[in-house]
Amino acid sequence: MSHQPLALKYRPKKFSDLVGQEAVAATMHLMIKNGKTSRNIICYGPPGCGKTTSARIYVKALNCLDLQDGEPCGKCTACIEIDNDASIDVIEVDAASNAMVSDARALREAAMYKSTNLRYRAFILDEAHAMSKASFDTLLKILEETPPNIVFILCTTLITAIPDTIISRCMAFPFRRVSVDQTIERLKFICDNEGFSYELPALREIAVSTNGSMRDAISRLDQLSILLSENFTVEGTRQGLGVPSFTIIKNVLKNSLDKDPTNFWRSLEDIESFPDPLEIVARIEKTVHYAKLVGMSILDPSKIEIERSFVEEIVKHPNFSIDWANNAISKLIIAQNNFRQRSPLTLLRLKSDLSNLLRDPVLVKTTGEKAIYTENKTSQGRNPLISSVNSENTLSNFVTANETVVSDASPKGVDTSVPMSVENLASLFGGSVIVKR
Ligand SMILES: Nc1ncnc2c1ncn2[C@@H]1O[C@H](COP(=O)(O)OP(=O)(O)OP(=O)(O)O)[C@@H](O)[C@H]1O
Ligand SMILES: [Mg+2]
Ligand SMILES: [Zn+2]
């Protein structure tokens, strides 16, 4: 028997099965329960979060012969037909490629037929934003006075591409990305049901990597279940997802905080051997951002997706400081930017750039030290920050009179009375700052 994709097998069948779309599900459910239904609907939001699924549940509920407190029963002929994709009255089409929708006249004709078996004949127009101008015009006319017993549900990931005239004739339902925690819950449910074994952080890895798309999360679970023989370990899952092993990230940061050049160099070699070193450097940067925000008591560590325990470890390290974090972030950004400019030196340059993580942040005081600002030559054109500077508030504020200032401008609102790290100064200027003592 061929394998039924899990995303299909676990497609929600009633409103209460929908995950992470509480407002939409509750409204649709109440509309059915109270008999205050709408026949022009638009579902919009990011991909894979339940738009088409909700449209189908709604159509099922409209047609169900034995509603259960506003939920489709799932057992009557209407429910079964729709669940099995067997109803000729439910027309689900991809608006981008379907001739019926791209040909405006065909659409008008299709909308004239009465339903055959069901109470309502429903058009679910997926990718509605891709409709032609002529089809939108025709649809607009139809929606102005939707024929009795006809239901239109437009689904789109791009609401801005739908004419306002159409939107204003529809009841609009905004869908949200499904949160990491809610995605994990669903994945757990599926694993338990399928008899997969799993380490919870492995499911978290999948949920984080799919950016709020439940479909992608379930599809990845499906695909990885083959590779991992239905046993989701963290490392196996990370490998399967192409996510760098957590150990690499941890080693780079720990060795740089320890100021241990020998081991640091080893961790750089691990980065080098990874298929996409940039991915790791980006992850390292993300980890440092978290550490900085936790260190500043802005972010509650429990809100961190994956590297939670390690972020807390970094923050507690005796050499950790916010200046260290800012320094590291700017070094990591430079390393990533340089890496993107492919050259035979790319890997050497990456390691050399990353080695700057071993260096302490340099603090510039407003007086007594010399700061030279140089525009970041690698960025194209002038940085917008620089063009918005206030000429009265100059870089001279940061340096003493006898020192050289290459660029005589600084952004507004800079508090020149407090010492500032070179990296902060540089990021304010969108360039780099060289300090000579
Ligand atoms: N909110 C959700 N709750 C539970 N499962 C969901 C949810 N959203 C999506 N899924 C899963 O993903 C699959 C695809 O969902 P669906 O086709 O409804 O997404 P969509 O929002 O229409 O995506 P697209 O924008 O790509 O058309 C479903 O069959 C289901 O398994
Ligand atoms: Mg869809
Ligand atoms: Zn039913």
Residues 272-327: tens digit of each pLDDT:
877 788 888 998 999 999 999 999 999 888 877 667 778 889 999 999 998 889 88
Residue 253 and residue 219 share a domain: no
From CA 5, how far away is CA 117, in angstroms rounded? 29
What's the first-to-final CA gap in the chain, in angstroms?
A: 75
Domain boundary among 222, 241, 260: 241
Amino acid at 97: S
Residue 192 and residue 122 share a domain: no
Residue 115 and residue 228 share a domain: no
CATH of the domain at 125: 3.40.50.300
329: containing domain: 246-358
Residue 138 and residue 279 share a domain: no
Alpha carbon nearest to ligand 1 atom 13, residue? 215
Residue 371: pLDDT above 50?
no
pLDDT digits (tens, 9 = 90+) for 212-254: 999 999 999 999 999 999 999 988 998 898 777 778 888 899 9
In a domain, 169, yes or no: yes
From CA 133, how far away is CA 135, in angstroms rounded? 5
Is 163 near ligand 1, meaning CB less than 6 Å away? no
Structure tokens at 260: 């241990």
Residue 231 and residue 211 share a domain: yes
Domain boundary among 126, 157, 174: 174
Ligand nearest to the CA of 13: 1
Distance 155 CA to ligand 1 centre (A): 11
pLDDT digits (tens, 9 = 90+) for 19-47: 999 999 999 999 999 999 999 999 999 99
pTM of the complete model: 0.70
Confidence of residue 55 (pLDDT cuts 50, 70, 90): very high
Residue 117 and residue 266 share a domain: no
In a domain, 87, yes or no: yes
Distance 121 CA to ligand 3 centre (A): 15
3-state secondary structure of 417: coil
pLDDT digits (tens, 9 = 90+) for 343-365: 888 888 888 889 888 877 655 43
| Interior angle at CA 49, CA 45 and CA 53, nearest 5 | 105
Residue 405 and residue 295 share a domain: no
The count of domains in the chain is 4
CATH of the domain at 251: 1.20.272.10
More confident position, 145 or 436:
145
Instruction: Ligand 1, residue 55: give the atom nearest the CA.
Output: 18
In a domain, 276, yes or no: yes
Alpha carbon nearest to ligand 1 atom 28, residue? 11
In a domain, 92, yes or no: yes
Are the C-beta atoms of 284 and 247 separated by less than 8 Å?
no
Domain boundary among 358, 375, 403: 358
Residue 231 and residue 290 share a domain: no
Residue 280 and residue 415 share a domain: no
Distance 88 CA to ligand 3 centre (A): 16
Structure tokens at 54: 């909700």
In a domain, 50, yes or no: yes
In a domain, 397, yes or no: yes
Give the model's pLDDT for residue 270: 84
Residue 193 and residue 59 share a domain: no
In a domain, 1, yes or no: no
DSSP 361-415: PPEEPSSSSEEEEE--TTSSS--HHHHT-BTTS-GGGGS-TTS--SS--B-TT--
- Nearest Cα to Cα of residue 237 among 284, 275, 287, 199: 199
Residue 158 and residue 100 share a domain: yes
Residue 112 and residue 41 share a domain: yes
Q: Which helix H or strand E contains 429, and what residues bound it? A: helix 422-429
pLDDT digits (tens, 9 = 90+) for 115-148: 888 999 999 999 999 888 888 988 999 999 888 8
In a domain, 56, yes or no: yes
| Substitution site in 59, 214, 220, 221 for ligand 1 pocket (most atoms within 8 Å of beta carbon) | 214
